[in-house]
Amino acid sequence: MTRRVRIGCCALALCLACAVPAAAQSLTQRGFVDVGLALFPQAAPGDRTQATLDVLVREELFARPRRWLQVAGGVEVRGNTHAQVERVWRLDLGDRRERRPMLGVRRLTATVTRGPLTIDVGKQFIRWGKADIVTPTDHFAPRDFLTVIDAGFLAVPAARIVAQQGAETLDVVWQPRFTPSRLPLVDQRWTVRPTGSDGLRLLPSALALPTRDQVGARWSHTGDGYEFSVSGFDGINHLPNLVAVRAATVRDLLLLRDYPRVRSFGADAARPTRWFTLKGEAAVFRARDSNADDYVLYVVQVERQTGEWLLLGGYAGEVVTRRRVPTPFAPDRGLTRAVVARASYTVDSNRSVTLESAVRQNGHGVYVKGEYSQARGARWRATVSGVVLAGRSDDFLGQYRRNSNLTLSLRYSF
């Protein structure tokens, strides 16, 4: 971690520490302890583990020492039975390592508000776009793909200025330090071995991350009954290209990660009609070097909330305008050329059921997830979910067909 970033984080932490006692009237917190058990009926090549247990403790504090200043901080403590969490006790600020940190800073942000301006500085979550399952314009939102289909977001160190005047909003982001999406571990079931690699040991290459900064801007208009945004991004794709090369030792295969420079322009819009809300989002990705594809991602979806049902359905598409790379790790692109749908039903104030699915248009990959969740009292919630993955081995979804699973989680919120 660079000295500059360390100093910045320490300053923010100090600010938070000072703000907490000063803002007794405007201090809020939220947190939870979550224990999750994942069961896999099938063993996968190179990973015989069929049950994993996760523990996550999260605590977030929000203080408002002055009317114009808010400070937010959050930490996480994690444990896992399948070596997905580092076994080192140190405070991780960057969230850029292969494994999840045992003790990590989830967010650390100072927010200054002055009239129409809002300035956020620090490690923060930035979400762009309006679509729900695939979001092509969500450039500052790397994710934790350790288990691919259940990917949480990672905060990024950035400075963000938002100016809002009436119906117009301009959002400018500068991210000085790159945060990659976290990839599946090479010796675990969510990494699919390259063809012809039987008998070889798959090894990750030393992680060399790009050092350049990233910038993006988004202009949004909120009209009477519709809203739209246009955005631009110049930076690095947080999803890498993967290249397998023979290592010096004959029996090893080295998996190289290359994060391509990209420039992207996109737009998103939402328009409620009499029967449903129509949402669309699209982005053009242009590689700055010759190491990545040029492509367009787009999503068209409709959603409707009726009674206790929330229904969502749509199509995610991809047009590759110039293909250069055979094997990018790209879950966003992997969910395209697919019909996506989600339905959730609120049984009562404590119980809900959700079903979501993605089916590739050629039928080569299917993902279906069902979830039932029930709260008990004000603090406890139990969730059981089942995921079915099926398809052909050359399809992004189909390649995980041995990873269908059942998960049980119990959460205590405080």
* 126: its two tokens: 């930035």
Pair 291, 260: CB distance under 8 Å: yes
- Residues in the interface with other proteins (CB under 8 A) total 47
394 exposed, middle or buried (CB, 10 Å; 0-12, 13-18, 19+)?
A: exposed
Neighbours of 379 (CB within 10 A): 12
C-beta closer to other proteins: residue 48 or 67: 67
If one asks whether residue 379 binds other proteins (CB under 8 A), the answer comes out as: yes
Binding characters for other proteins, 156-195, by CB under 8 A (x = yes) = ------x-x----x--------------------------
C-alpha to C-alpha distance for 1 and 174, rounded to whole angstroms: 18
If one asks whether residue 116 binds other proteins (CB under 8 A), the answer comes out as: yes
Instruction: Tell me which amino acid residue 140 is.
Output: F
C-beta closer to other proteins: residue 175 or 241: 175
- Window contacting other proteins (CB under 8 A); options: 46-54, 110-118, 211-219, 239-247: 110-118
If one asks whether residue 277 binds other proteins (CB under 8 A), the answer comes out as: yes
Neighbours of 283 (CB within 10 A): 26
* 314: its two tokens: 């749509």
Candidate residues 24, 248, 250, 378; the one interacting with other proteins per rule CB under 8 A: 378
Spacing of C-alpha 280 from chain mean position: 20
Candidate residues 35, 49, 98, 153; the one interacting with other proteins per rule CB under 8 A: 153
C-beta closer to other proteins: residue 166 or 326: 166
Binding to other proteins (CB under 8 A) within 338-367 occurs at 346, 348-350
Please name every residue paired with 243 in a beta bridge, in sequence order, or none if there are none: 256
C-alpha to C-alpha distance for 136 and 244, rounded to whole angstroms: 27
* 342: its two tokens: 């989600």
* 402: its two tokens: 């041995």
C-alpha to C-alpha distance for 269 and 222, rounded to whole angstroms: 10
If one asks whether residue 382 binds other proteins (CB under 8 A), the answer comes out as: no
Candidate residues 4, 6, 30, 288; the one interacting with other proteins per rule CB under 8 A: 30
Candidate residues 4, 6, 127, 323; the one interacting with other proteins per rule CB under 8 A: 127
Q: Which of 32, 152, 142, 146 is nearest to 82 (CA)?
A: 146
- Window contacting other proteins (CB under 8 A); options: 8-16, 186-194, 238-246, 272-280: 272-280
Dihedral (CA of 131, 135, 139, 140) sign: positive
CB of 111 to other proteins, least distance (A): 6
Q: Which of 321, 318, 278 is nearest to 300 (CA)?
A: 278
Binding characters for other proteins, 32-71, by CB under 8 A (x = yes) = x---------------------------x-x----x--x-
- Which chain residues interact with other proteins by CB under 8 A? 28, 30-32, 60, 62, 67, 70, 72, 111, 113, 115-116, 118, 125, 127, 153, 162, 164, 169, 222, 224-225, 227, 270, 272-277, 304-308, 346, 348-350, 375, 378-379, 381, 411, 413-414
